[in-house]
Amino acid sequence: MKKKAVYPGSFDPITLGHIDIITRMSKIFDELVVLIAQSSQKHSLFTPLERKKLIEETFKHLPTVKVDIHEGLTVDYVRQNQATTIIRGLRVVVDFEYEMTMASMNRKIAPEIETMLVFASPEYYYISSRAVKEVAQFNGPLDGLVPDHVKQPLLDKLHQKKP
């Protein structure tokens, strides 16, 4: 049976930290779905469709990596799409409590689905979409934080938003 995993998150926008996790996990799973969680509670810079296009561009060379958008429980998506595993990344200690709580809740409501927590690579552990947006807001260098094709859309978005 094909081993299929789902990597859910906001990806607003995708960073080199996310890319590292996806690339490493794509070697373990036959198919990996990067799942953009469409949340009405979280304010996002890019629309889900814009985020999807940026991720698809990043992984156009890797056909086993798919991108999808979902509103609702991740476990429902995992079940509906015959996946078995949820992947999340762990950077610093503060991630741990949040990720463990979420993994435990998911285990409670969907015990057949396993959550895999993957340590960030040392060179990327400090990268978050939020920090990247802060750097971009003030025109700081984005090299080594996001892929090249994300830089301009990010700057355009942030400057559009200025009054």
3-state secondary structure of 134: helix
For the CA atoms of 115, 2, 7, 159, the dihedral, rounded to the nearest 10 degrees, stands at 180
Distance CA 80, CA 7 (A): 15
Active-site entry in 10, 26, 88, 129: 129
Crossing angle of helices 148-160 and 129-137, in 10° steps, is 60
Site string for ligand ADP, 82-111 (x = CB under 6 A): ------xx-x---x----------------
User: Is residue 81 at the binding interface for ligand ADP, with CB under 6 A as the rule?
Assistant: no
Instruction: For the CB of residue 150, give the shortest distance to ligand ADP in the complex, in Å.
Output: 13
Binding flag, residue 55, ligand ADP (CB under 6 A) = no
Measured from the CB of residue 9, what is the shortest distance to ligand ADP in angstroms? Answer: 3
CA angle, residues 133, 10, 106, in degrees to nearest 5: 145
51 carries an active-site annotation? no
Q: Which residues bind ligand ADP (CB under 6 A)?
A: 9-11, 15, 17-18, 21, 88-89, 91, 95, 120, 124, 127-129
